[in-house]
Structure 1
Amino acid sequence: MTRARRTLAATVTLAVASTMLTGCFEEPSPHDALRDFLVGWQSEDYELAAGRTDGDVATVRKALADAKLELDAASFRFKVTGVSTTGAESKATFHAEVDLGENNPLWEYDGMLPLHLVGGAWKVRWSPSVLHPQLKEGQRFAVDTEPNARQPVVDRARDALQSDRDLYVAGVYPAKLGDQAERVVAQLSEVTGYAQDRLLSRVRSSPPDKFVQLVTFGRSRYEAVKPKLDAIAGIEVDRQPQPVSPDPPRQIVGMVSALTPETEQKLGGPQRAGDSVGTSGLQQAYQDYLTGSTETKVVTLDLKTGEQVAELKRWAGRQNVPVETTIDRATQAAAEQAVAGTPSSALVAVQRDTGEILAVGTKNLHQERDALAGKFPAGTAFSIVAADALLKKGVSPKQRLACPQERTVGGAKFVQVGQAAGVTTSASFQENFAKGCVTALASLARRVTADDLIKSAQAFGVGQPWRLPLKSFSGSRLKLDSDADKAKAIAGQNVQVSPLGMALVAAAVASGTWRPPVLVTNPKAPDPAAEPTPAIQPAPVPVDPEVRATLQTMMRAGAASTPAQGGKGRVYGITATAADQQTWFVGWQGDVAIAVLAKNHDAGAVAGDFFAALGNSS
């Protein structure tokens, strides 16, 4: 909750508190003085509050105002818990709630107000202990903060997926400013755009001998404003290395920037000056975990020496932690190398037995928006899913199917690219599956029902509600109302999928079980409030063993006719065509399953380069 919202809440509460206090104190007694003092203090009517004490009005007024500044408090709220009177002496106890702002918890404490009769009128007996039982003469409040350094995003070996980059934190030592704090803060506000009152309150509420971090800059912004900062006497700059420069997969790891007035207001979280802010990828999704929250202490200080006298309250803050991913550096390097020479492509590699994402490589495509969440025509890559339904219906891999240049099914026209007009070839279902003959595959539409195809799609995760901390797309839900719709689905013409979704299809055939994807193993959910309950994921779905064995044979044949033969061990998969000059390779080698989407390039060749690079790295 932001400071502004919390202040509004406190104002609303004030009206309730005033009514409560007035209702409680109807009889002539010390109650009127008690009510006016607490309501005046709470509403910042310090003149009213000071007038109800036996102290010097100006001194009390300043003490109350200073307490708010020293605590950088958004609001005070009070509740009277007891009143006792003996003759000309009275004592009231109260419970205080102080909103320290900056999204810290409320500081709650119990206090005591002594009252006595002065010239026939009840007065609060003034001393600093009225503000807090442990505050003495010659002391002041202060708020001491310790921001935690940003934690890294790490790979499956717990090595950081980013390197350090310098951020520049401008701040002050309050003791060095003397009476120049307002001038210094005004100049800094003009340069940076941060609200002057917020900067000043941070300075005034901090221990005088401690460096107070006020504004954070990235290198380019710092270099732009450095001459202006250098011209502000009293401003010092601390260069702080933080893990913010992403390694591959860069768009999955995400970018980090310095905190700005705009991001501070937008986030409303535990961020303070000196923090860095994730602006994309996992850095943004897990911002609150990576930054944690600032350790905060309310203390009393000796006014002369500035030394701490007592600690009144401490909040450790939520511990910030690394974000542990499933990314494997060797696999990621192989993916980066494989896509480098293509005009436009995306490659997603997953662990076949777990669904863990090992690598996401792209060229001229976005790793999150396209590789994980892209919505692309499936083309004949979807024939893997369709084959599951067809095989269950008794279609034999050996069944002969004609592959003409054109065929019409239920009124829908299909064209086999590369097939000469008037030429019709005949091959087995397995052979047509391997070479992706659209017209042959579409001819099988009447061998299955719409429900058969939908069940197979669901079993392979297509259209299922899996969850990742980043945007992702599991595939479109099938709507099949006719033979034409079924034929288009078998040919992948009315189905959209993502490279991630198709990599999981390959993993299911390879391992015998479809599993939802996993990218982050810890924390269990991006929202700290949701932990430790993990996000609900679809249950794993086993592949029929007989169907799986046949599919593996068919995909082995498919890979044999493609360039995807690099690396060590057998490669299984098919190269498929889709719209807009896009090709797919969907398959696996060993325990790594992949999907490659390439435009104006052979996806099978990309897969071969990937497996070769991965084999060479092992």
Structure 2
Amino acid sequence: MTGKARRTVAAALALAATAPMLSACLEEPSAHEAVRDFLVGWQTGDYAAAARRTDGDEKAVSKALEDAKIQLDAASFRFQVKGIRRTGDQSEADFAAEVDLGENNPLWEYTGKLPLQLVDGHWKVHWSPSVLHPELREGQRFAVDVIPEGRKPILDRNGDPLQQEATLYVANVVPATLKDDVAVCEQLSKITGFPQDRLLSRIRSARPNVQVPLVTFGRAKYAQLRDQLTAIQGITISPQKQPVAPDSPAQIVGTVTAVTPESEQQLGGPQRAGDTVGRSGLQKAYQEHLTGSTETRVITVDLKTKEQVAELRKWRPSRPTSPVRTTIDGPTQKAADSALFAGTPGMLVAVQASTGEVRAVGSTKEYNQEKDALAGRFPAGTTFSIMSVEALLKAQVSTKQKLACPVDRSVGGARFHQANPPGGTAPTLQGDFANGCVTALAALARRIDGAELAASAAKFGIDSRWTLPLKSFSGSLKLPKTDAATARAIAGQNVSVSPLSMALVAGAISSGTWRPPVLVTDPQSPDPSAEAGPPKAPDPIKIDERTVATLRTLMRAGVTTGSARSAATPGDPVHGITAVATQGRKSLAWFVGWQGDIAVAVLTESTDSTAGANIAGRFFQSLHAGM
């Protein structure tokens, strides 16, 4: 049973249960019985019983009551008798009406009057259309105008739309021109899957002389059904431009489709033709903000001219739609897309270091920008050695300390391998850090307490409970309790991170403060009914100044003398380090760093440790050229 049907049954039961109370509150028993039986019959849909309590033609009155429900597309009627007065052989009852105009539409409340007169010794409701509503006259009918607001855009930080217009196709009818509206709805239902009764009620409750949109199709679906649709007599198809084709970052912006029978059910329907539904990304997360709000009018219409006579009630949108403003920056996004174009599979996330705002999310076709770049779980490789620096400084370890970088090393039983270690004299810790030497960095586990490493990781947002409107992952690290576990953590082997979480780590070193990510600045919450506002984001965390200074030196060395040299570009100095990692059978290459106030994390599929830095270099070069 649909929600609308349940509400109709509930309303009928409610009046049936309160009928004895109506009897008790009225002073004129015989007149009261006529009032009660008429209103109970009207409310419960027993129109013949209601008609018998009037002085009108029983069939005509019964049809008029039924038509009123159809013309209003009403889920239910509820009535309450407010009083009754008698003057000789005539009486008049006052009643309050509540008309539920259905899902997603308002409750229409009005007051009416029932004139009564004695007919052959029995009280009868004196029938006229004004019994249904005081302003309804002979030769008129009800109608409902529902005017939806168009879908609002998703915007970048500069207010530019992040989608382009696409053509949707709307199947319309003009009710007054239809020879057989039942047949039209039967054929359209068979083709589209939309319930026949909903299509029919949409036609019969609308103004008869205007185009009524029934079903909207995307380009592919319309092409598939075009011949069948045009074969239905009375259906016309009108192309309609709507801003629904996502620009980059397309998977963050998300896709939009016309409402389908399935999505209508999921959204709590009935939705109106022309409505659109977000299928993914921000379009889905902010569906209630972007669309769905309508203006509704109950009117009377002249049956001959088909023109509006009076407006009985008007409701402006109770929840205005609004654009969604993101932190995405057009030039930065373009630079990210350009850096990844025609390259190896990979992702790039760029954030503003001083705010945590996400400026760009790029990926090749092999990766999803939301599920992988924001929410993916990947081994961090030796980029996670960033978290060890604070503990090393506490242990009085100098970055100038000589630390060998052998091909193989065992720490606490855990084995590590470094491909192509640098030759010559033993490098310093700074050199090992700059080149991501896993065997050297893993050896530091004996100098670091596992709990201190976990505490340092937390300062960089790892396993932070941040909140974004899309899926995201802040990273995870189990508390290392042995030298082997600590060594694996420094090497990023038992640590999971996302490109977003590592871009924020780079931003924390650049600015000196870790900040939670921000993707949408307005509205504050995807839920328009949220009274308490959005969940509270974690507070920014200031990083120890000595730790920050040391990391800046180490990461600058990664670009000037280390494996991240290909990231160097004109403009502000680039800081960053590289790392390699393995996930299943995939070899992954990281770059984590920044230039100016833009911090990035790049993850690409490659056995070459410099592959991530190559992409970062192209990104910074493109960004610098566009300034």
For the aligned pair, the TM-score class normalised by the smaller chain equals over 0.9
Return the letter of the residue paired with 1:571.
V
Matching of residues 215-230 of structure 1 within 5 Å: 215-230=215-230
SS of 1:167 mapped into structure 2 = strand
Separation (CA, whole Å) in 2 of partners of 1:498 and 1:163: 29
Return the letter of the residue paired with 2:6.
L
Instruction: Identify the residue that residue 348 of structure 1 maps to in structure 2.
Output: 349
Return the letter of the residue paired with 1:235.
I
Separation (CA, whole Å) in 1 of partners of 2:567 and 2:395: 30
Displacement of 1:587 in angstroms is 0.3
Separation (CA, whole Å) in 1 of partners of 2:296 and 2:613: 57
Q: Taking structure 1 as the reference length, what is the TM-score of the superposition?
A: 0.95
Change (3 A) 1:530 1:127: same
Instruction: Identify the residue that residue 400 of structure 1 maps to in structure 2.
Output: 402
Instruction: Identify the residue that residue 266 of structure 1 maps to in structure 2.
Output: 266
Instruction: Identify the residue that residue 374 of structure 2 maps to in structure 1.
Output: 372
Change (3 A) 1:84 1:386: farther
Return the letter of the residue paired with 1:616.
A
Separation (CA, whole Å) in 1 of partners of 2:73 and 2:22: 31
Displacement of 1:77 in angstroms is 2.0
1:611 matched to 2:620: yes
1:22 matched to 2:20: yes
Matching of residues 352-501 of structure 1 within 5 Å: 352-363=353-364, 364-419=366-421, 426-501=426-501
SS of 2:2 mapped into structure 1 = helix
1:74 matched to 2:83: no
1:538-589 alpha-carbon deviations (Å, 9 max, x no partner): 1111111221111111110112222111242210010011113101100000
Displacement of 1:36 in angstroms is 1.9
Bigger Cα displacement from structure 2, 129-138 vs 245-254 = 129-138
- Give the conservation status (yes or no) of the 8 Å contact 1:559–1:571: yes
1:194-251 alpha-carbon deviations (Å, 9 max, x no partner): 2221111111111111110001111222122222222222111111111111111111
Instruction: Identify the residue that residue 11 of structure 1 maps to in structure 2.
Output: 9
SS of 1:257 mapped into structure 2 = strand
Displacement of 1:133 in angstroms is 2.1
Return the letter of the residue paired with 2:512.
G
- Give the conservation status (yes or no) of the 8 Å contact 1:264–1:272: no
SS of 1:29 mapped into structure 2 = helix
Displacement of 1:85 in angstroms is 4.6
- Give the conservation status (yes or no) of the 8 Å contact 2:11–2:76: no
Candidates 565, 573, 577, aligned match of 1:570: 573
Change (3 A) 1:53 1:596: same
Structure 1, unpaired ranges of 5+: none
Separation (CA, whole Å) in 2 of partners of 1:295 and 1:474: 42
Number of residues paired by the alignment?
613
Separation (CA, whole Å) in 2 of partners of 1:444 and 1:547: 16
Displacement of 1:310 in angstroms is 1.6
Change (3 A) 1:453 1:518: same
Return the letter of the residue paired with 1:373.
A
Displacement of 1:327 in angstroms is 1.1
Separation (CA, whole Å) in 2 of partners of 1:79 and 1:595: 66
Instruction: Identify the residue that residue 598 of structure 1 maps to in structure 2.
Output: 604
SS of 1:517 mapped into structure 2 = coil
Separation (CA, whole Å) in 2 of partners of 1:447 and 1:82: 89
Separation (CA, whole Å) in 2 of partners of 1:207 and 1:373: 49
Separation (CA, whole Å) in 2 of partners of 1:439 and 1:95: 83
Displacement of 1:319 in angstroms is 2.1
Change (3 A) 1:109 1:567: farther
Q: CA RMSD in A?
A: 2.1
1:458-508 alpha-carbon deviations (Å, 9 max, x no partner): 211111111111111111143323232222211111110000010000001
Separation (CA, whole Å) in 2 of partners of 1:107 and 1:75: 11
Change (3 A) 1:69 1:392: farther
Return the letter of the residue paired with 1:569.
D
Bigger Cα displacement from structure 2, 235-244 vs 447-456 = 447-456
Bigger Cα displacement from structure 2, 448-457 vs 596-605 = 448-457
Displacement of 1:102 in angstroms is 4.2
SS of 1:92 mapped into structure 2 = strand
SS of 2:82 mapped into structure 1 = strand
Bigger Cα displacement from structure 2, 88-97 vs 349-358 = 88-97
- Give the conservation status (yes or no) of the 8 Å contact 1:129–1:136: yes
SS of 1:426 mapped into structure 2 = coil
- Give the conservation status (yes or no) of the 8 Å contact 2:7–2:75: no
Return the letter of the residue paired with 2:147.
E
Return the letter of the residue paired with 1:590.
G
- Give the conservation status (yes or no) of the 8 Å contact 1:270–1:294: no
- Give the conservation status (yes or no) of the 8 Å contact 2:85–2:91: yes
Separation (CA, whole Å) in 1 of partners of 2:354 and 2:399: 26
1:357-394 alpha-carbon deviations (Å, 9 max, x no partner): 11111112111111011000111111112223333443
- Give the conservation status (yes or no) of the 8 Å contact 1:567–1:608: no
Change (3 A) 1:490 1:127: same
Bigger Cα displacement from structure 2, 32-41 vs 377-386 = 32-41
1:172 matched to 2:198: no
Displacement of 1:9 in angstroms is 3.0
SS of 1:25 mapped into structure 2 = helix
Displacement of 1:109 in angstroms is 2.0
- Give the conservation status (yes or no) of the 8 Å contact 2:15–2:43: no
- Give the conservation status (yes or no) of the 8 Å contact 2:11–2:43: no
Change (3 A) 1:164 1:429: same
- Give the conservation status (yes or no) of the 8 Å contact 1:392–1:547: no
Return the letter of the residue paired with 1:160.
P
Instruction: Identify the residue that residue 142 of structure 2 maps to in structure 1.
Output: 141
- Give the conservation status (yes or no) of the 8 Å contact 1:271–1:291: no
Displacement of 1:425 in angstroms is 6.3
1:55-80 alpha-carbon deviations (Å, 9 max, x no partner): 21111101110001101112222233
SS of 1:143 mapped into structure 2 = strand
Percent identity of equivalent pairs: 56
- Give the conservation status (yes or no) of the 8 Å contact 2:11–2:77: no
Separation (CA, whole Å) in 1 of partners of 2:132 and 2:505: 66
- Give the conservation status (yes or no) of the 8 Å contact 1:271–1:293: no
Matching of residues 9-408 of structure 1 within 5 Å: 9-26=7-24, 28-85=29-86, 88-177=89-178, 179-268=179-268, 271-317=271-317, 318-363=319-364, 364-408=366-410
- Give the conservation status (yes or no) of the 8 Å contact 1:270–1:292: no
Separation (CA, whole Å) in 1 of partners of 2:73 and 2:449: 69
Return the letter of the residue paired with 2:416.
F
Displacement of 1:88 in angstroms is 4.4
Separation (CA, whole Å) in 1 of partners of 2:385 and 2:242: 48
- Give the conservation status (yes or no) of the 8 Å contact 2:264–2:270: no
Separation (CA, whole Å) in 2 of partners of 1:510 and 1:472: 22
Return the letter of the residue paired with 2:590.
W
